[in-house]
Structure 1
Amino acid sequence: MRAAFVDPGALRTELSLQSAVLAGDGLGGHTTAWQEVATVFGLIEPVSQASRFGADQVLEENTHRITIRHRSGVAAGMRFVWQARVFDILTVHDPDATGRYLACRVREDEA
C-alpha cells in the first residue's frame, strides 16, 4: 500500500512510540530502559519474513511497514510497542513528501 493513498481510517492500531534512555550501571557500563514518547495510531503491514541458519541456530527475521501520521522526532533506533509485540524502527521516511504520513520500516523483536 502506498502511503499517498492511505485511508486515514486504516490508522487504527494504537501503538506506543518509545525511545531508549541509557543509565549508568555504576560499573562503567550502562543499562537501557525504554521511555514512552507518545501514543500514536498506525497501520501495520507485513513486508517480509526470512530464515537464516548460523551458529547452529535458525535466525528468524520479520519486517513490517508501520505507517503513522507525520510527527517530528521519529527516528531510527526508536521502537513501537503494540500489545506484547515490539517493533524496532530501522528507517523512517515521508513516502510522498507531503508531510502527511511517515512510513517506518521496522523489524519485529522476537526476544
Structure 2
Amino acid sequence: MMRALFIDPGRLRNELSLEACVPVADEIGGYQETWTEIATVFGMIEPVSATSVFGAGQPLETTTHRITIRHRSGVESGMRLRRQDRVFEIITVHDPDDSGRYLMCRVRETGA
C-alpha cells in the first residue's frame, strides 16, 4: 500500500474555476470553442518548470505547474483551471496516493 499523502488543508487556498470546452455550432457548419465553468475548487499551485524557446521570430514561453485539489470526479486532461487572468491547461490528472482524497494535475500555463 502507498504511503498516505498529508497536505495541510490551509495550503489549498487558491480559488480556481474548473472549466470544460463546449463546442458551439456556427452558421457555416463549423464550431467555436466555448469554455464553461463547471465548478469552483480550491487548490495549491506549485511551479515545476519554465522554458523559453525561440521560434517563429519570437520567444515561446512554457511554464508548467502542479496543482493539487480535493478529489472530485470528472476532472480530466483537456479541461482547464483558471485563477483570475491565469489559465492552466490540464495535461494529466492522478490520485497521488490512491486514497481518493486529492487529485494532482500537471498543467501548462498559457499566456505566461
* Residue 89 (structure 1) aligns with: 90
1:55 Cα offset (Å): 2.1
- Aligned 1:30-45 pairs, distance under 5 A: 30-45=31-46
Task: Supply the AA of the counterpart residue of 1:13.
Answer: N
1:39 Cα offset (Å): 0.4
1:70 Cα offset (Å): 0.3
Gaps of 5+ in 1: none
Q: Matches of 2:50 and 2:99 in 1, distance apart?
A: 30
Task: Supply the AA of the counterpart residue of 1:95.
Answer: P
1:94 Cα offset (Å): 0.4
Q: Matches of 2:9 and 2:93 in 1, distance apart?
A: 19
Q: Secondary structure at the match of 1:18?
A: strand
User: RMSD of the alignment, in Å?
Assistant: 1.3
* Residue 109 (structure 1) aligns with: 110
Percent sequence identity is: 64
Question: Greater shift after overlay, 20-29 or 37-46?
Answer: 20-29
TM-score (ref. length: structure 2): 0.92
1:23-61 per-residue CA deviation (whole Å, 9 max, x = no partner) reads 111212110111110000000010000011122221100
Q: Secondary structure at the match of 1:44?
A: strand
Q: Matches of 2:85 and 2:49 in 1, distance apart?
A: 20
Tell whether 2:54 aligns with 1:53. yes
| Runs of at least 4 residues off by over 3 Å | none
